[in-house]
Amino acid sequence: MWLITGAGGQLGSILLRALSNGGEAVVGTVSPTGPRPQYGETVPLELADFERIRAFVRNRAPKYVIHTAAVTSVMAAYENPSLAREINVEATAALAEATAELDARFVFTSTDLVFDGNAAPYDESSTPNPTSIYGKTKIEAEELLANFTNAAVVRLPLMIGLPAVDRQTTFRNQLRALLDHQSLKLFQDEFRSPIALSDAARACIEIAKSDVSGVIHAGGPQSLSRLDIGLALARALGVATDQIVPTCQSDMHFPEPRPMDVSLDSSLFEKTFGRAAGRHVDDVMADVAIEINAGN
Ligand SMILES: NC(=O)c1ccc[n+]([C@@H]2O[C@H](COP(=O)([O-])OP(=O)(O)OC[C@H]3O[C@@H](n4cnc5c(N)ncnc54)[C@H](OP(=O)(O)O)[C@@H]3O)[C@@H](O)[C@H]2O)c1
């Protein structure tokens, strides 16, 4: 049995769909106020309720837990740091403890935003230096998980593609803007190594089934600006690229410093699993275009 937290989210919904379509026994937890995917079994579970989390894990006795639920917005974490810490750190600890009691595998989804953006590409030996409350909560969770031999931490980059749930996402908003011929401003000076949601899900599942412990990066094969990513999407959709307006994040003000380049080196993943974690962005966007043309 698999347990996916955050099954109403982008990655969690894709994991729930992939595992239930693959015939696996899986249950997903969703936030009591968030959207609920149409796939598999879902149960509302508030992550701040640590006793309920522990009881739920004990009761379901999963063999694998993939923890994707989190306060994922950098701005939300900045505005409510105590909530971000409660959910991203303390709830993770409660889940990890309950999972360890069952001797089950635990995969924690962390982020490229644990790095400051000054020395990309980053591999697993690079020193984290988060510039945001969000990144700080993720590092604190990573550090506490170092004490759990059943746990692996997968650091993910920007994820692209459509979630398997009715949910507003930045990617979906950009897609809509392109299809509606609206102008779309994208940073040309902010770099990530984007991965498809489906590739990230596959990587999480493989890590869960393996005996990998500690930190592993699962990024895409390219370092791309947000502008590059948008242009690749426009090309795949066959829409005009001149509606995309290049802008610079260095010209804008953010309450916390925003890293310029947090591209990940994912060669450890490739060495461990014998394949790259993610596909080329043009292949990912071609799949998105097929999904759109199929009416999704
Ligand atoms: N998206 C990215 O590009 C990216 C990049 C690097 C790392 N990551 C990491 O990858 C993981 C998955 O990201 P994602 O983009 O799939 O996240 P997401 O779409 O924001 O989903 C997170 C889910 O967690 C739920 N949640 C938040 N607080 C909760 C609470 N108190 N109780 C119960 N559920 C709660 C959210 O509920 P609601 O439905 O109510 O919002 C949402 O369904 C996260 O750990 C994230 O930090 C994401």
Integer-rounded Cα Rg, in Å, for the chain is: 18
Q: What is the amino acid identity at position 123?
A: D
User: For residue 264, which amino acid is it?
Assistant: L
What residue's CA is closest to ligand 1, atom 39? 34
Beta strand pairing call for 41-44 and 151-156: unpaired
Query: Residue 94 and residue 50: Cα distance in Å, rounded?
Result: 6
Q: What are the tens digits of pLDDT across the range 48-77? A: 999 999 999 999 999 999 999 999 999 999
Ligand 1 atom at minimal distance to the Cα of residue 88: 45
Long-range contacts of residues 81-86, Cβ cutoff 8 Å, at least 24 apart? 81/133, 81/137, 83/48, 84/133, 84/134, 84/137, 85/137, 85/140, 86/48
Domain residue extents for the chain: 2-167+194-220+263-278
Protein residue whose Cα sits closest to atom 4 of ligand 1: 158
Helices (DSSP H) in the chain: which residue ranges? 10-21, 50-60, 74-79, 81-85, 91-101, 133-145, 170-179, 197-209, 226-237, 267-273, 281-293
Mean pLDDT value across the chain: 97
- pLDDT score recorded for residue 169: 97
- Using an 8 Å Cβ cutoff, are 169 and 176 in contact? no
- pLDDT, one tens digit per residue, over 200-225 is 999 999 999 999 999 999 999 999 99
Q: Which residues pair with 64 in a beta bridge?
A: 2, 105
Taking CA atoms only, the protein residue closest to ligand 1 atom 11 is 68
Rounded alpha-carbon distances, angstroms, from residue 254 to 71, 161, 191, 250: 18, 26, 17, 10
Atom 24 of ligand 1, nearest CA residue? 69
Whether 296 shows a pLDDT value over 80: the answer reads no
* Residue 132: per-residue pLDDT: 98
The stretch 280-291 carries a mean pLDDT of: 98
Helix (H) or strand (E) holding 184: strand 184-187
167 vs 6: CA distance, rounded Å: 12
In this prediction, residues 274-283 reach a mean pLDDT of 98
- What pLDDT digit, counting tens, does each position of 123-172 carry? 999 999 999 999 999 999 999 999 999 999 999 999 999 999 999 999 99
Q: Does domain 2-167+194-220+263-278 have CATH number 3.40.50.620?
A: no
64's enclosing H/E stretch is strand 64-67
Both tokens of residue 47? Answer: 């992550």
Distance CA 141, CA 91 (A): 9
pTM, entire model: 0.98
For residue 49, how far is its CA from the centre of ligand 1 (angstroms)? 17
pLDDT at residue 39, rounded to an integer: 84
The stretch 13-29 carries a mean pLDDT of 98
Specify the pairing of strand 191-192 against strand 224-225.
antiparallel
Between helices 133-145 and 91-101, what is the axis angle to 10°?
20
Which residues surround ligand 1 with Cβ inside 6 Å? 6, 8-12, 31, 33-35, 46-48, 68-72, 87, 109, 111-112, 156, 158-159
239 Cα–ligand 1 center, Å: 30
Confidence of residue 295 (pLDDT cuts 50, 70, 90): confident
CB atoms within 10 A of CB 148: 17
